[in-house]
Amino acid sequence: MQWTSSSTILSAHPTDPQVVCLHFPSNQQFSIPSPPKVTSSPTSYEPPTTIISSARDNWIFAYFPGVDCDGVGCVWRKGPQIDNWVVKEWWTFPRGAGVVSARWLQSDREVRIINHPPILRPYMLVYCIVGDVRRRNTNSIAHAWPSSTID
C-alpha cells in the first residue's frame, strides 16, 4: 500500500493482478491498467507485492509475482487526469526472483540526449532477490530505471 502526496491510496487488489486506487477526499475509486503481459494471462499472476509512486506522483512502479512463470515489473506515467495512467514500460523478472524493495531516487533529474531537448525524468532503483530463499542460495540485484530510451 502506498499513500501519495496527492492523497491517493495505491493498493493491491485482494485477488487480481491489479493496482487499485482511492482518492481522498472525493472517494473516487479507479484501477490502473495492468501491463499487457499480465492482462493477456491474469490467472498467471498474483496481486502486486510492491507498489511505489514518485515524489511528484507522476510515475508508479509495481511488481506482479508470477504463478509458475516469470514475474513482471511495470512503470506507469500519469496522464492529464488523476485516474489516467499509461503503461510506459514493463519487464520480466526470472522465476524464483522477486522484488523486495523499490525506491525512487530523490527528485526528477534532467536527461540530455544529443539532438533532443532536455527532459526531466525520475530515477528508480529496484532491489530483487534471485535464487531460492529456502535453500539460502540467493543473490541480490539492483535494477536502475529508466533505460536509455526517451519519451
Long-range residue pairs from 26-32, CB within 8 A, at least 24 positions apart, any chain? 28/82, 28/83, 30/83, 32/60, 32/62, 32/76, 32/85
pLDDT in tens, 34-87: 999 999 999 999 999 999 888 778 888 899 999 999 999 898 989 999 899 999
H helices of the chain, where? 36-39
As a whole number, the mean pLDDT across the chain is 77
Q: What is the pTM of this model?
A: 0.76
pLDDT band at 121 (very low <50, low <70, confident <90, very high): low
CA distances from 141 to 42, 65, 145 (A): 26, 16, 13
pLDDT of residue 134 exceeding 50, the answer is no
Cell output for 44: 498467471
